[in-house]
Amino acid sequence: MLIEEVKKELIQHIIPFWNSLRDDENGGFYGFKGFDLKLDKQADKGVILHSRILWFYSNAYMTLGDKALLDNAEHAYRFIRDKCVDYQYGGVYWMMDFRGGVADDMKHTYNIAFAIYALSSYYRASGDESALNLAYKLFLDVEENTLDEYGYQEAFDRTWNLVDNEALSENGLKADKTMNAILHLIEAYTELYRADKNRPGAEKVAQRLKFQLGQMRDIVYTPETNALKVFFDTAFNLVGDIHSYGHDIEATWLMDRACDVLGDEELKKQFAEMDLKISRNILDIAFEDGALNNESEHGAVDRKRVWWVQAEAVVGFINAYQHCGEKKFLEAAGSVWEYIKSDIIDKREGSEWYSEVSFGHEPHDWKEIVGPWKCPYHNGRMCMEVINRKVDL
């Protein structure tokens, strides 16, 4: 039932919606659609958004085999390759204008990670060597420009001078380093290594991926609470007291996948145990009335329901079930999917999923349907993970 339903959602709803946002005049995909469903064809085009779109169509093609999906992936690839990459100083820009000119030339490690992730997937889907070559170029840009004695720095100007990390800071805090950036570097390097493990340079990718996993295990993870820290200063001292439930459950399966792709049996064992503890903790403290709350700060729980958090909960709970066989995880995944169907999927013509819904089931009408962060990556990936894992209710 679950597989059939998510496949229908993917094919009949999510894919057609994003198909309608293709910009054949200026390249890429339109960058903004408000809650009122008015499309702004002259809105800036986020590079994170386009990397996630490229990843989505590449993986949708590999999952479903429809050549039209590969055509949309190629369309997104051309926009990233031709407009978003800084071939002079390295990395990718933060934001393009609607015509593909540079609107914000900030370099961000998180943003570059998503480009690596997407380009690696596009290579796997298309066999286009130029995409993998570009992914490796961006990998080297990250490794050569962002590291300090502690790990990966995050926010830079165009020529790699450090700037404030406002892009990934939240809740009135200013963080130099974030769990979020490390997590998505893990995601990116996993996909890059998986794309061609025999390529010259692949062993360096594997080494750096193991370094990042070590940071998550030894610095970010808190054994006493089975939770992940969120914000840090440059030396990885904790900043603030925030627990992001969505990132925790997303991290569990992404870290497990990284270990699987690396093929390191000792790491697999370590992370399977750690990730199961995190999953149990999230189920115990964040799962309420059939869905996942958002986060807590200083113990105060933010109970709004965010689209991507629900999508990652489905995958994370299925992943936990596959590791331990405990039915409570499968039941929780099914419950979250039922909540997504009832509250998160927007039934209006010309829409997709709401960004946020209150605990009282009211959509937040100040949150866009499409934007720099609102994309087909989390919900589309959830559908494809359910299909490919073959775990049904």
Predicted local distance difference test score (pLDDT) of residue 171: 80
Helix 109-126 / helix 47-64 crossing angle, nearest 10 deg: 30
Q: Is the pLDDT of residue 54 over 90?
A: yes
Predicted local distance difference test score (pLDDT) of residue 359: 97
Predicted local distance difference test score (pLDDT) of residue 82: 98
Predicted local distance difference test score (pLDDT) of residue 169: 84
Q: What tokens were used for 313? A: 């909960």
- The yes or no reply on domain 2-389 and CATH 3.40.30.10 is no
Instruction: Report pLDDT digits (tens) over 256-278.
Output: 999 999 999 999 999 999 999 99
The domain limits of the chain are 2-389
Residue for token digits 């490390």? Answer: 182
Angle at 390 between CA 384 and CA 393, to 5 degrees: 105
Instruction: Identify any residues that bridge with 108 across adjacent strands, giving them in sequence order.
Output: 155
Instruction: Report pLDDT digits (tens) over 300-326.
Output: 999 999 999 999 999 999 999 999 999
Q: Is the pLDDT of residue 170 over 90?
A: no
Instruction: Identify any residues that bridge with 291 across adjacent strands, giving them in sequence order.
Output: 288
Q: Is 359 exposed, middle or buried (0-12, 13-18, 19+ CB in 10 A)?
A: middle
Q: What tokens were used for 146? A: 């962002």
pLDDT class for 351, splitting at 50, 70, 90? very high
Cβ neighbour number for residue 137 with a 10 Å cutoff: 15
